[in-house]
Amino acid sequence: MPPSLQTPFLNYPTAVETNGQGTEFKYKSQYFPVLTGFKLNILSYIATSLSPVQSILWNAAESGTPAKLERKGVLKNVVPCFDPTVIPLVPRDSSLSAYDPFLHDANSTQSQFYSALDYVEAYKSRKTTPIKVVERILDILSTDSTKESYFISLVPRHILLAEAAKSTERYVLGTPLPLDGVPLAVKDEVDVKGLMKTFGLSLEQVKRRFKDGGEPSTYTSFCVQKLLDAGMLLLGKTNMHELGLDTTNDNPYWGTPCNPYNPNYYPGGSSGGSGASVGAGLVPIAVGADGGGSVRVPSAYNGAWGLKPSHGRVSTSPSPSFAPSVVVVGPIAATISDLEIAYHIMATPDTDGSLSGLFAPPRSLSLPAQKRIGIYNPWIDASEPKVKILFNSSLTLLKEKMGYQVEDITLPYLSENQIAHRLVIMSELTSILCSAGQDITGLAPHNRILASVASRTSSHDLISANRLRTQMMQHLSHLFTTYPGLIILSPTTPHPGVRIPSGAGLKGAYGLTDATNAVESMIYVFLANWTGCPSISVPCGYVDVHAGEMPVGLMGMSEWGSEDLLLRFGRDWDEIWSTQRRRGKGWVDVLNS
C-alpha cells in the first residue's frame, strides 16, 4: 500500500464513475490558423479591442466545458481543489543531506553525453580544469551563431572566470565540493542573485511590470542555491517563452533558441533555453520551471531527461510563483545520473516555512518490488503514428527486459481536464502579471490575444475547473492504491516537435500563434501539473522529419512524493537504451576542446 496522504480537502481514494461520459479522449479542437508577422499583429489588435471577438475565441477553445459538466451533475458534491499539494505521511528528518551520500554511489551511464560525474572525474584526473571549461563555453557562446539565443543574461565574464579559478584551486588542494566546477544553467523565471529576471519579457516591460524595475535580483531561489552550494558554476539565465505562455519558446525579444537536433524546429518551451543548453552539451544540468510541461516538453524536443517534481516538493523560496497551483521547478539533464543528482539536491527540504519542509528527504521512502505500468489506450492513440510506434516498442522493451507488468486503466474526462488546466494556468498568470488581462500593453501580439481571452473567464468557470481537478485527483488516488507502484506511461508529446513556420522564430519578429499545436503539445504533460503528481520524461528514439530528425520522449507519472520510483524507472530505461542515444548536429564538446 502507498503511504497515507495528507491534504486538507480530499477524500482518498475514490474512483470516478463516468457512466460512459467523457471517457473518449480528443484534442482536435477548432482554432484559428497558424499566424505570424503582420497578420498576427492585426488579429491581436482586433481580439484585444473588441469584446465580442474575445468571447468568440474563448468559446472556440471550449473554455466553458467544466461549467457544462457541473450543470450536468458530473461534479455533484465535489469540493474544488485550489492547491494540489499532497504530502506522504512518513517520518521526516531535515538533517539528512540530500546529495552527499548519493554522490558516493551514483553511477554514470554509457551515454555519449557528458554527465556531471564525467566533469568531476576529468577535473580530479587533471585532464582539464574548470577554468578551461568555462573559457571553452564562453568561446562557443561568442562565436557559434546557433547558440546566441540560449541565454537572456550571462554571468559577467570576469566573475565567472574568478569562480572557476576558485573551483580549480579546490581541486589542486584536494578539497573540492561535490559538484565543483560543473556548469549550470537556470531558467530566467527563477531568481539568481546579481542577475536580472525578465520572465521572457522585453526590457521595457520588465522595468514597467516588476517592482525591482529590471534591477538584478537580490536573492537566489532556495533550490538553485543548493546547486551552487554543491559547487556548480552558474553560466547564466536561459531563454524562455514570454510569460511562459506556450511550448515553442518563440521569443521575438531575445530570439528563439536553436534546436541542437534540427534548426528548423523549435526547442520547446517554455524552458527552451535550458533544454537546448543541455541538448547541445553546454551543461549537464539545467533548471527549468514546469506549469504545463515546460520542463518535459523541451527535454523531449532536445533529447534530454526531465523531471517535474510533486507539487510543493522543491522550494523556490523566496521567489514568488506566477501560477501557484500548477507550476513547479525541476531539472533538465543530460543523463539519468544527472537527473538523480540534480533532483536530490534541489529537493533538500526547506524548513523555513516552505511546503517542501513537510516532505521527507529524497531516497527515504521504500520502493515497491512489483514494477507496474498503467496504460490508457485511447490517450496513447492520440499520438502521431511514428511516435506511437516508438512508444509501443519502448513498452515492449520495459516488459521483456525489466519485468514491468502492464495494467489497463481509465482516465476519465481527460479532454475536459485539459481545458480546465488551461483555464486555470492562463487565469493565474494573467492575473498576476497582466492585471487580470486588463494590462496587455507591450506584450507580443500572440500573448496579447491569450491574455485578453483569459480575461473572459468567470469565477464560476474557475470553481468548476477546480472541482474537476479534485475529481481527477481522487480517481488517480484510487489507481495508485489499487496498483501500488503504478507509473502511468505515455509519450511526452504526441508529435516529434513543432516546425518553425516562415517568418517566425526570429528576434524582432511579431511572434507566433498556433493554438492547435500548443494544445497538442500538452495533451500528456498537463495532467501531472493539474494534479500535482511527479512526472519524468526520458529520451526514447528519433523520428525523421523535415530536413533531418527530431528526438522523441517517453513519459511516466506516479503518485505524489514518489520521485524516486520514477528515477528507478529512468535507470531501468537507461540500462535498456542509453547506448542507442546520439548527439544532435548542434552538440559541442566542452570537455575536450
Q: If DSSP states are collapsed to H, E and C, what string results for 348-378?
A: CCCCCCCHHHHCCCCCCCCCCCCCEEEECHH
> How many C-beta atoms lie closer than 10 Å to residue 102's C-beta?
18
Helix residue ranges, H only, 194-325: 203-209, 222-229, 272-279, 296-301
pLDDT of residue 74: 92
What is the rounded CA–CA span in Å between residue 148 and residue 206?
A: 21
Question: Three-class SS of residue 305?
Answer: strand
Question: What is the identity of the amino acid at 555?
Answer: M
Is 270 assigned a catalytic role?
Answer: yes
| CA 109 and chain centroid, separation | 23
Is 187 assigned a catalytic role?
Answer: yes
Question: Is 582 buried (19+), middle (13-18) or exposed (0-12) by CB count in 10 A?
Answer: middle
* Helix, strand, coil percent content, the chain, rounded in steps of 5: 40, 15, 50
Burial letters 440-472, b for 16+ CB under 10 A, else e: beebbbbbbbbbbbbbbbeeebbbbbbbbbbbb
What is the rounded CA–CA span in Å between residue 127 and residue 138?
A: 19
Question: Three-class SS of residue 531?
Answer: helix
Contact 277, 241 (CB under 8 A): no
CA angle 478, 481, 487 (to 5 degrees): 95
CA angle 14, 399, 559 (to 5 degrees): 30
DSSP structure class, residue 88: E
Q: Which of 44, 111, 221, 270 is catalytic?
A: 270
pLDDT of residue 94: 44
Is 39 assigned a catalytic role?
Answer: no
Task: List, edge to edge, every strand of the sheet that includes 535-545.
Answer: 151-154, 233-238, 183-187, 285-290, 328-333, 305-308, 535-545, 548-557, 486-491, 372-375, 405-408
Q: Which of 132, 147, 187, 308 is catalytic?
A: 187
Question: Is 202 buried (19+), middle (13-18) or exposed (0-12) by CB count in 10 A?
Answer: middle
Roughly how many angstroms between the first and final C-alpha of the chain, as a whole number? 51
Q: Is the bond into 412 cis (omega within 30 degrees of 0)?
A: no
> Residue 443, CB half-sphere, CA atoms under 13 Å: how many?
29
DSSP structure class, residue 265: B
| CA 371 vs CA 305, 518, 569: distances in Å | 21, 33, 9
- Helix or strand holding residue 289 (H, E): strand 285-290
DSSP structure class, residue 535: E
What is the rounded CA–CA span in Å between residue 221 and residue 382?
A: 38
What is the rounded CA–CA span in Å between residue 224 and residue 193?
A: 10
pLDDT values of the chain reduced to their tens digit, one per residue, 593 residues: 344 444 433 445 667 765 444 455 565 555 567 889 888 998 888 888 888 888 888 888 889 999 999 999 999 989 999 999 999 876 555 444 545 545 545 566 677 899 999 999 999 999 999 999 999 999 999 999 999 999 999 999 999 999 999 999 999 999 999 999 999 999 999 999 999 999 999 999 999 998 777 899 999 999 999 999 999 999 999 999 999 999 999 999 999 999 999 999 999 999 999 999 999 999 999 999 999 999 999 999 999 999 999 999 999 999 989 899 999 999 999 999 999 999 999 999 998 878 999 998 888 778 999 999 999 999 999 999 999 999 999 999 999 999 999 999 999 999 999 999 999 999 999 998 888 778 999 999 999 999 999 999 999 999 999 999 999 999 999 999 999 999 999 999 999 999 999 999 999 999 998 888 888 999 999 999 999 999 999 999 999 999 999 999 999 999 999 999 999 999 999 999 988 999 999 999 999 86
Bridge-based pairing of strands 183-187 and 285-290 is parallel
Contact 93, 365 (CB under 8 A): no
Q: Enter the pTM of the model.
A: 0.95
Q: Which of 111, 221, 294, 319 is catalytic?
A: 294
pLDDT of residue 95: 46
Contact 526, 555 (CB under 8 A): no
Helix residue ranges, H only, 50-180: 51-60, 65-71, 100-105, 116-124, 130-143, 157-173
> How many C-beta atoms lie closer than 10 Å to residue 111's C-beta?
23
